[in-house]
């Protein structure tokens, strides 16, 4: 997905995508806490989905912070 992100995106849009990624992560945590994940995923699938959600949320967090933000990419 990160390969599809345009180089120039407004801060508002990147924050919106970050918030959406955070909601997905929170939903997976809620599924785990409630035990409902067993209806939809195997344990291995849930772990993979959770890692994806965390990585996406972190990537959008860095993008939303911008090059001068506290989570800026080391290459910038």
When divided into structural domains, the chain yields a total of 1
Residue 76: the pLDDT is: 43
Quote the domain boundaries for residue 35: 11-65
HEC secondary structure over 49-69? HHHHHHHHHHHHHHHHHCCCC
pLDDT over 90 (residue 66)? no
CB 62 within 8 A of CB 69: yes
Please report whether residue 54 resides in a domain. yes
Residue whose structure tokens are 């996406």: 56
The whole-model pTM stands at: 0.71
For residue 61 the two structure tokens come to: 């967090």
Please report whether residue 73 resides in a domain. no
| Tens digits of residue pLDDT in 2-38 | 556 556 778 888 889 999 999 999 999 999 999 999 9
């Amino acid at each position: 997905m990160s390969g599809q992100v345009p180089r120039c995106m407004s801060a508002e849009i990147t924050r919106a995508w970050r918030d959406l990624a955070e909601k997905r992560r929170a939903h997976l945590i809620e599924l785990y806490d409630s035990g409902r994940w067993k209806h939809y995923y195997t344990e291995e699938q849930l772990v993979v989905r959770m890692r994806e959600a965390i990585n996406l949320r972190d990537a959008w967090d860095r993008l939303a912070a911008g090059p001068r933000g506290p989570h800026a990419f080391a290459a910038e």
